[in-house]
Amino acid sequence: MRMDIILRVVGKILIPYAVVFALYVQFHGDFGPGGGFQAGVVIAAAVIFYGIIFGLAAARRAVPESLVESMVALGVLVFAGVGVAGIVLGGNYLDYFVLAHDSVHGQHRGILWVEAGVGITVSGVMLKVFYLFTGRARDLEDGP
Protein backbone atom coordinates (compact mmCIF):
# COMPACT_ATOMS: atom_id res chain seq x y z
CA MET A 1 0.00 0.00 0.00
CA ARG A 2 3.08 2.20 0.11
CA MET A 3 2.41 3.49 -3.42
CA ASP A 4 -1.23 4.43 -2.89
CA ILE A 5 -1.18 8.23 -3.09
CA ILE A 6 -4.65 8.73 -1.57
CA LEU A 7 -3.78 6.70 1.52
CA ARG A 8 -0.42 8.46 1.85
CA VAL A 9 -1.92 11.96 1.66
CA VAL A 10 -4.88 11.17 3.93
CA GLY A 11 -2.55 9.44 6.39
CA LYS A 12 -0.14 12.37 6.46
CA ILE A 13 -3.03 14.75 7.17
CA LEU A 14 -4.90 12.64 9.73
CA ILE A 15 -2.22 10.80 11.73
CA PRO A 16 -0.77 13.94 13.43
CA TYR A 17 -4.30 14.95 14.47
CA ALA A 18 -4.93 11.46 15.84
CA VAL A 19 -1.79 11.75 17.98
CA VAL A 20 -2.77 15.23 19.21
CA PHE A 21 -6.28 13.93 19.95
CA ALA A 22 -4.76 11.07 21.96
CA LEU A 23 -2.69 13.53 24.02
CA TYR A 24 -5.81 15.67 24.54
CA VAL A 25 -7.77 12.62 25.72
CA GLN A 26 -4.86 11.69 28.00
CA PHE A 27 -4.36 15.01 29.74
CA HIS A 28 -7.92 16.36 29.54
CA GLY A 29 -9.48 13.19 30.93
CA ASP A 30 -10.14 14.99 34.25
CA PHE A 31 -12.57 17.32 32.51
CA GLY A 32 -13.86 15.57 29.40
CA PRO A 33 -14.44 11.97 28.42
CA GLY A 34 -11.42 9.74 28.19
CA GLY A 35 -8.31 8.89 30.14
CA GLY A 36 -5.23 6.74 29.95
CA PHE A 37 -6.78 3.66 28.36
CA GLN A 38 -8.53 5.57 25.57
CA ALA A 39 -5.46 7.70 24.88
CA GLY A 40 -3.26 4.60 24.80
CA VAL A 41 -5.37 2.80 22.21
CA VAL A 42 -5.81 5.92 20.05
CA ILE A 43 -2.06 6.58 19.96
CA ALA A 44 -1.39 2.90 19.21
CA ALA A 45 -3.98 3.00 16.40
CA ALA A 46 -2.28 6.10 14.94
CA VAL A 47 1.12 4.36 14.85
CA ILE A 48 -0.45 1.16 13.46
CA PHE A 49 -2.08 3.04 10.59
CA TYR A 50 1.23 4.79 9.93
CA GLY A 51 2.81 1.34 9.77
CA ILE A 52 0.14 0.01 7.40
CA ILE A 53 0.39 2.95 4.99
CA PHE A 54 4.13 3.72 5.04
CA GLY A 55 5.46 0.25 5.78
CA LEU A 56 6.47 -1.56 8.93
CA ALA A 57 10.10 -0.45 8.68
CA ALA A 58 9.05 3.22 8.77
CA ALA A 59 6.87 2.58 11.84
CA ARG A 60 9.76 0.80 13.57
CA ARG A 61 12.03 3.78 12.81
CA ALA A 62 9.48 6.26 14.18
CA VAL A 63 8.62 4.19 17.27
CA PRO A 64 11.49 1.74 17.91
CA GLU A 65 10.67 -1.68 19.25
CA SER A 66 12.98 -1.27 22.26
CA LEU A 67 10.99 1.82 23.32
CA VAL A 68 7.69 -0.04 22.91
CA GLU A 69 8.97 -2.96 24.98
CA SER A 70 10.11 -0.66 27.78
CA MET A 71 6.75 1.14 27.73
CA VAL A 72 4.96 -2.16 28.46
CA ALA A 73 6.67 -2.34 31.86
CA LEU A 74 7.20 1.39 32.47
CA GLY A 75 3.49 2.20 32.71
CA VAL A 76 2.83 -0.36 35.45
CA LEU A 77 5.93 0.89 37.30
CA VAL A 78 4.68 4.51 37.11
CA PHE A 79 1.27 3.44 38.44
CA ALA A 80 2.74 1.34 41.26
CA GLY A 81 5.32 4.10 41.92
CA VAL A 82 2.52 6.59 42.62
CA GLY A 83 1.26 4.11 45.22
CA VAL A 84 4.71 3.83 46.82
CA ALA A 85 5.07 7.63 46.76
CA GLY A 86 1.90 7.77 48.84
CA ILE A 87 3.50 5.53 51.48
CA VAL A 88 6.80 7.46 51.43
CA LEU A 89 4.95 10.75 52.00
CA GLY A 90 3.16 9.33 55.03
CA GLY A 91 -0.14 8.04 53.63
CA ASN A 92 -1.46 4.67 52.48
CA TYR A 93 -0.68 2.86 49.24
CA LEU A 94 -2.28 4.77 46.32
CA ASP A 95 -3.23 7.58 48.72
CA TYR A 96 -3.21 10.76 46.63
CA PHE A 97 -4.15 13.21 49.38
CA VAL A 98 -0.54 13.34 50.65
CA LEU A 99 1.04 13.96 47.24
CA ALA A 100 0.78 17.75 47.56
CA HIS A 101 0.35 20.26 50.38
CA ASP A 102 -3.32 20.63 49.42
CA SER A 103 -5.42 17.43 49.33
CA VAL A 104 -7.38 18.37 46.17
CA HIS A 105 -4.15 19.30 44.40
CA GLY A 106 -2.71 15.96 45.55
CA GLN A 107 -5.66 14.14 43.98
CA HIS A 108 -5.04 16.01 40.72
CA ARG A 109 -1.38 15.06 40.74
CA GLY A 110 -2.06 11.41 41.61
CA ILE A 111 -4.74 11.00 38.93
CA LEU A 112 -2.48 12.61 36.30
CA TRP A 113 0.38 10.17 36.95
CA VAL A 114 -1.86 7.14 37.31
CA GLU A 115 -3.54 7.90 33.98
CA ALA A 116 -0.13 8.44 32.40
CA GLY A 117 0.93 4.99 33.62
CA VAL A 118 -2.21 3.36 32.17
CA GLY A 119 -1.71 5.13 28.82
CA ILE A 120 1.96 4.13 28.57
CA THR A 121 1.31 0.44 29.28
CA VAL A 122 -1.78 0.18 27.04
CA SER A 123 -0.16 1.83 24.02
CA GLY A 124 3.02 -0.20 24.57
CA VAL A 125 1.16 -3.53 24.70
CA MET A 126 -1.01 -2.73 21.65
CA LEU A 127 2.01 -1.69 19.56
CA LYS A 128 4.11 -4.64 20.72
CA VAL A 129 1.36 -7.10 19.73
CA PHE A 130 1.06 -5.38 16.33
CA TYR A 131 4.82 -5.52 15.73
CA LEU A 132 4.95 -9.20 16.74
CA PHE A 133 2.02 -10.22 14.50
CA THR A 134 3.25 -8.36 11.44
CA GLY A 135 6.86 -9.40 12.05
CA ARG A 136 5.76 -13.03 12.10
CA ALA A 137 3.95 -12.68 8.78
CA ARG A 138 7.15 -11.31 7.26
CA ASP A 139 9.16 -14.25 8.60
CA LEU A 140 6.88 -16.69 6.77
CA GLU A 141 7.25 -14.72 3.54
CA ASP A 142 11.03 -14.87 3.83
CA GLY A 143 10.76 -18.66 4.01
CA PRO A 144 12.07 -21.02 6.66
Partner 1 sequence: MIETGAIAALLAMMAAVAVAVVRQRNLFAVVVLTTAYSFLMATALAALDAADVAMTEAAVGAGISTVLLLGALHLVGSLEMKPSAGSAVPLAIVVVTGLLVAYGTYGLPAFSDPDAPMHRHVAPRYLQEGPKETGVPNVVTAVLASYRGFDTLGETTVVFTAGIGVIALLRRRRPGEQEDKP
Interaction site with partner 1 (CB under 8 A): 25, 29-35, 37-38, 41-42, 44-45, 48-49, 52, 69, 72-73, 75-76, 79-80, 83, 94, 96, 103-105, 107-108, 110-111, 114-115, 117-118, 121-122, 124-126, 128-130, 132-137, 139-140
> To the nearest whole angstrom, how small is the minimum distance from the Cβ of residue 67 to partner 1?
14
> To the nearest whole angstrom, how small is the minimum distance from the Cβ of residue 121 to partner 1?
5
In sequence order, the 6+-apart residues with CB closer than 8 A to the CB of 84 are 93
CB atoms within 10 A of CB 85: 19
> To the nearest whole angstrom, how small is the minimum distance from the Cβ of residue 98 to partner 1?
13
CA distance 101 to 120: 27
Integer-rounded Cα Rg, in Å, for the chain is: 18
CA distance 48 to 128: 10
- If you ran DSSP here, which 8-state letter would residue 90 be given? T
> To the nearest whole angstrom, how small is the minimum distance from the Cβ of residue 23 to partner 1?
14
Closer to partner 1 at the Cβ: 11 or 110? Answer: 110
